[in-house]
Amino acid sequence: MALRVVIVEDSLTVRRRLCDAVAADPELVLIAEVSDGARAIEVCRALRPDVIAMDMMLPVMTGLEATEYIMAHFPTPILIVSASVNRGELFCTYDALAAGAVDVLDKPRGDEADGAWERTFVATLKLVARTLDLPYAHVYGVATFYTMYRREPGGRQTIRMCTNISCMLRDGYAVLEAFEAYLGLKRGESNAQFTLVEEECIAACANAPCAVVGTEYVLDITPGQVPSIVERLKAHPHPESEVV
């Protein structure tokens, strides 16, 4: 699907050049072109583009102010297209990067080889559109904190054994160890059929210790029941919501 682009540029000549470059690329579609920062906010709020090409020096509201607002209210990948020869614009650009804009591209000077600047512009625009602009540590923290995210392929179904307070007090760890022994897996490991996860509270504390597999809750489990639970799951799998 084509990336939806908004161009924010007050110079008619430069805007025409940016719009023509977008229009010439089949992977991009121009959904709006505007000439000031306030209007940029309005169209981004209404149209939610995949990427924005933003000038810094704009009437009504500067590109920096518009970038700060957009990143605070509906974060969108922004490529700043600005004139680095202008010292004031250069400093605004640094601030816009600090506010969350992804990258900066110099405006065309007019002495580039035919189509060279346009090729760089569309390539950068596509790259920026794919960027979440989240720090690696943030993404890694989310992926490792939430047990429903996986960082490697899992089994066809996941046994999420609760060991939170109620389940722990009613021998949840003994049940988890029984799953480990019967499946031949440590918690967090997978084979083709199963992934075994040590889970936080699954909201069935009245029937602790318990596990959830797909949409099926397995309640009041004893270690001795584990083999029959596993065999039943093999015969009647519950892979709902698995991303393998």
* Binding region for ligand FES (CB under 6 A): 162, 164-167, 201-202, 204-205, 208, 210
- Diameter of the chain measured on Cα atoms: 79
Q: Considering the complex, state which of residue 64 and residue 204 has its C-beta at the smaller distance from ligand FES.
A: 204
For the chain, how big is the Rg over CA atoms in Å? Answer: 27
Q: How far is the CB of 225 from ligand FES (least distance, A)?
A: 16
Q: Is 179 helix (H, G, I), strand (E, B) or coil?
A: helix
Q: Considering the complex, state which of residue 95 and residue 216 has its C-beta at the smaller distance from ligand FES.
A: 216
Q: What is the 3-state secondary structure (H, E, C) of 29-70?
A: EEEEEECCHHHHHHHHHHHCCCEEEECCCCCCCCHHHHHHHH
Q: Measuring CA to CA, how many Å separate 208 from each of 162, 187, 196?
A: 8, 19, 18
Q: Considering the complex, state which of residue 154 and residue 172 has its C-beta at the smaller distance from ligand FES.
A: 172
Question: Which has the closest alpha carbon to 45: 71, 27, 63?
Answer: 71
Q: How far is the CB of 159 from ligand FES (least distance, A)?
A: 14
Q: Which residue has the tokens 């046994």?
A: 159
Q: Considering the complex, state which of residue 13 and residue 215 has its C-beta at the smaller distance from ligand FES.
A: 215
Q: Considering the complex, state which of residue 23 and residue 169 has its C-beta at the smaller distance from ligand FES.
A: 169
User: What are 116's two structure tokens?
Assistant: 């060279």
Q: How far is the CB of 165 from ligand FES (least distance, A)?
A: 5
Q: Which residue has the tokens 């009613």?
A: 170
Q: How far is the CB of 161 from ligand FES (least distance, A)?
A: 9
DSSP code of residue 133: -
Q: What is the phi/psi pair of residue 197, to 5°?
A: -125, 135
Q: Considering the complex, state which of residue 58 and residue 212 has its C-beta at the smaller distance from ligand FES.
A: 212
Q: Considering the complex, state which of residue 170 and residue 232 has its C-beta at the smaller distance from ligand FES.
A: 170
- Residue pair 101/78 in contact by the 8 Å Cβ criterion: yes
